[in-house]
Amino acid sequence: MKTIGIVLLAGGIGAGLALLLAPQSGQKTRRQIRYKAESYAKDLREEVNANAAALYKSGAESTRRMMKRLLKPIAA
């Protein structure tokens, strides 16, 4: 528990120093953070859509194969 407190205190001090010594204004920093977040979100959406499309295609192909097998006449 003591270690967690030390880590949180050190993190808070580091964040405070980073804000005080930042080479640009807060507005510019927020704009950069927003841009990066939107860019990452866009990339994530594209990747999820691509994976969903591939999964759908794979499922459709598997369903077609299974339907062919199920509808195939049984040879006696």
Q: What is the DSSP letter of 74?
A: P
| Whether pTM exceeds 0.85 | no
Say how far apart CA 73 and CA 51 lie, in whole Å. 35
CB atoms within 10 A of CB 29: 14
**Domain of residue 50, residue span:** 2-71
For residue 46, give the amino acid letter: E
pLDDT in tens, 4-49: 889 999 999 998 888 788 888 878 888 988 999 999 999 999 999 9
- The dihedral through the CA atoms of 51, 56, 60, 63 has a sign that is positive
Confirm whether 76 is domain-assigned. no
Query: What is the total count of domains within the chain?
Result: 1
Confirm whether 48 is domain-assigned. yes
Following CA atoms 41, 45, 48, 51 in sequence, which dihedral angle do they give, to the nearest 10 degrees? -130
